[in-house]
Structure 1
Amino acid sequence: MKKKLVLVLALLMLVSLFATACGQSTPAPAPAPEPAAEGSEPAAAPEVEFPEMTLRMSVTTSDVGSWYMGGMKMAEIVSERTGGKVNIEVYPNEQLSGGNQGVGIEQVQQGVTDMSFHSTIIYSIMDPKFSVVSMPWIIPNISDMDQAMAGEPGEAIKEIVRSKGIEPLAFGENGYRQLTTNRRAVRTPADMSGMKIRIPGIQMYIDLFQALGADPTAMNFAEVFTALQQGTIDGQENPLPVITTNRLYEVQEYVTLWNYSYDPLVIGINMNKFNSFSPELQQIFREAAAEAAAYQIDLNRQEEAEAIAFLEEQGMEVIELTDAEVAAFRDLMAPVYEKYEPIIGEDLMNLFLNF
């Protein structure tokens, strides 16, 4: 019995010595994680706590337009990605600025309001350099204009926006401006002679239509329908969705498609407000603005595509100019370009002209 006990104790000592020796050896490294399967979701980033805040955004158009819908899309995305902590209230029809678009931009500069969705045409009130995008027939093709706004010309515009104390988050679009008239259809510059055309109250547009032989008339857009109805003016110019939404087909006979002036929009935020955000929140705002702008552009172009058939159904005659016919108008623009090149700057002008 004693012999058996001694044998067991000896075996236990051997096992103990073997285990101790193994414990002193260098531990094996942990196995590398398996690579994520193709198409799998990336690991979730650590959650970031965002402070609760509410921002106000001013939008020029009504709550049925693509501008407002784009603003609401951004508000939705920001709220979702901040867990409901950061909210954007979108105010249509320039409610915050008393109906004055220029004041709407000034309010964002001053921090009275936080954000806006405004046209560069309105920005040109504070700095005529913004007019470069809307110069007559500077880039009359939408695919080329898309590339320009996504490239160096667009970056140049963003830098000018920043110089005004506003951070440009993304570009939307109001689209190319078209012409509607009553007295006669417009196919040649001679057809413009003496026609009273309502234009935005921007000097570049006044100079442009005077060069075409028309009689440009600046007027609040709210007065345009009645002025057309009463014959105070003969026509007006605007993107197609504006023409349909405001029922101008009821008081106009002709629409000329000539893509004479492009009208981009800026989703802008007060720079001091934006700089107060954490890097994570800034990134959310940039991404949300880019997605909202793409959504707004898609809506706008869908409305444009549907507008032509709709206007024809309403009895309007649609005149789509050929490249040669457009060239006849563009050839008359030399005095306008000569006047505005020193105002806008040769380098900035050439960024768009040579794109």
Structure 2
Amino acid sequence: MTITVSETSTWYAGAEKFGELLDEKSDGRMKLSIFANEQLSGGDPAAGVEMLANGDKAFSYNSPIIYSGIDPRFSAITAPFLYADYAEADAAIADGGAEAYATLTDDMGIKMLGFGESGFRQITNSKHEILEPADIKGLKLRVAGSELFLNIYKELGADPVTMNFSEVFTSLQNGTIDGQENPFDVIYSNGLMEVQQYLSVWNYVYDPLILGMNKEMFENLSAEDQKIVEEAAAEANEYQITLSREKEASQLAEMEEQMTVSTLDADQLAAFREALQPVYDAYESKWTAEVAEAVQPK
């Protein structure tokens, strides 16, 4: 199994829990080896998803943002300002969202074993506070490897670039880029506060994690072993999500000691939503009505 980020992340803790449960439930027959930082694909998560589909590995935690590079419908759940809070995201996922995404992964040769969670994405930079759309103009920002995210930041006047996450810390440190966007856990567990001065808390994108398994590998398991995998996955995802949410407050508190942290209010968020209306209009057809409806707040 691979994850995109480091061993200190809740992603890795979730993967470890998954391995422990597989071992326990199979009486030691199933052993899981975990590789952090996309080690099996040279740091490239998109190549990692392709490896999963091809059967070169068994499992991965990857964001739908990465999957959207293959099929743009995956980016529907990461539309900016789709959910106000975790409760809205949970309700949408339970009421059709997870089912819709399981169908999308199935078409790729991947069995979806539920969602973990990366969390709501925030933005950091080394230049100044970001409080309104004009503050993003001209910043060179590393964004997630997705056409949607490139278009979001181009619409806001930034100079967005994509790069493997493994290169982000050094690029921030040497000034190749001014900033980046990620959830608290990714920012904190990779020490980005050491090379960034400003953090804006705006919860602009909810980012779940697809726990994927190679479909052919899953189908070749006995019914008993399929049940073990599915039960272990459900328990591990629940554990990882709970851990991620529990850690957010303490992670933010520590980052506040090292960075200038700004939490945007409702009026400030409304200004960003208005600025991004052209992006919503452009992506409505790419998401398709069926998938977009499945992830709408309930």
Counterpart for residue 344 of structure 1? 287
1:156 partnered with 2:110 = no
Per-residue deviation, 1:304: 1.5
Give the alignment's TM-score, normalised by structure 2: 0.95
1:333 aligns with 2:284: no
Count of residues in Structure 1 that have an aligned counterpart in Structure 2: 298
Shift in Å, 1:223: 2.8
Counterpart residue number, 2:132: 188
Is the contact made by 1:138 and 1:353 (CA closer than 8 Å) also made in structure 2? yes
Shift of residue 95, structure 1, vs aligned partner:
2.1
Corresponding letter in the other structure for 1:258: W
CA contact (8 A) 1:139 1:352 kept: no
> Map of 1:171-210 to 2, 5 A cutoff?
171-210=115-154
Gaps in structure 1 of 5+ consecutive residues? 1-56
In the alignment, does 2:190 pair up with 1:246?
yes
Q: 1:140, 1:261 within 8 Å by CA — same for their partners in 2?
A: no
What does residue 274 of structure 1 align with? Answer: 218
Q: 1:297 aligns with which of 232, 237, 241?
A: 241
**C-alpha displacement of 1:287:** 1.0
CA distance in 1, matches of 2:287, 2:233: 27
Matches within 5 A, 1:60-139: 60-139=4-83
CA drift at 1:354: 5.1
Q: Deviations over 1:121-172 (max 9, x none)?
A: 1111111110111111112321100111222122111110111111111210
Contact 2:68 2:75 survives alignment (8 Å): yes
Q: Percent identity?
A: 43
User: Counterparts of 2:16 and 2:191 in 1: how far apart (Å)?
Assistant: 24
Q: What is the TM-score normalised by the length of structure 1? A: 0.80
Instruction: Find the aligned partners of 2:135 and 2:280 in 1 and give their Cα distance.
Output: 22
Partner of 2:170: 226
Displacement of 1:222 after TM fit?
Answer: 2.8
Distance 1:144 1:216, change over 3 A: same
Worse overlay, 93-102 or 267-276: 93-102
Q: Answer with 1 or 2: which has the greater Rg.
A: 1
Higher relative contact order (CA 8 A, sep 6+): 2
Kindly provide the CA deviation profile for residues 41-92 of structure 1, in whole angstroms up to 9, marking residues without a partner as x.
Answer: xxxxxxxxxxxxxxxx222222222112211111111111111122222222
RMSD: 1.5
Q: Which runs of 4+ in 1 moved over 3 A?
A: none
* Distance apart, 1:213 and its partner CA: 1.9
- Residue segments in structure 2 that go unaligned for 5+ positions in a row: none
Matched, 1:140 2:84: yes
Corresponding residue for residue 5 of structure 1:
none
